[in-house]
Amino acid sequence: MNVETLPINRLVPFYLMSSYLYYKEDRQVLTDEDFDQLAKRLLDNWDSVEHMHKHLISKEDLQAGTGYAIKYSQRIINAAKNWIGE
């Protein structure tokens, strides 16, 4: 996946799904470099991003490059598991 070509509003679900898989399922779907790039791009475009789950992410999460403290909805969990074929 090339995070540089994702539309900015798609950054939110990919950030949330990859964070969930990494922190809750011990599955890495993005390289550390891609995840950091995703977080940076999301932070750089924060004021322009519109997504129903944006409120789950804080700028502090993005600056630290972590999704550890996020409270994942069932919708995010299901989408993440679907992404990896479960």
Q: What is the pLDDT of residues 44-65, one digit of tens each?
A: 999 999 999 999 999 999 999 8
Measured between its terminal Cα atoms, the distance across the chain in Å is: 19
pLDDT in tens, 24-42: 999 999 999 999 999 999 9
* Contact yes or no for 14/38 (Cβ under 8 A): yes
Residue 86 has pLDDT above 90, yes or no: no
Phi, psi of 79 (to 5 degrees): -65, -40
Q: Is the dihedral of CA 35, 70, 73, 22 positive or negative?
A: positive
Domain residue extents for the chain: 8-83
Query: Whole-number mean pLDDT of the chain?
Result: 95
Cα(19)–Cα(13) distance, rounded to whole angstroms? 10
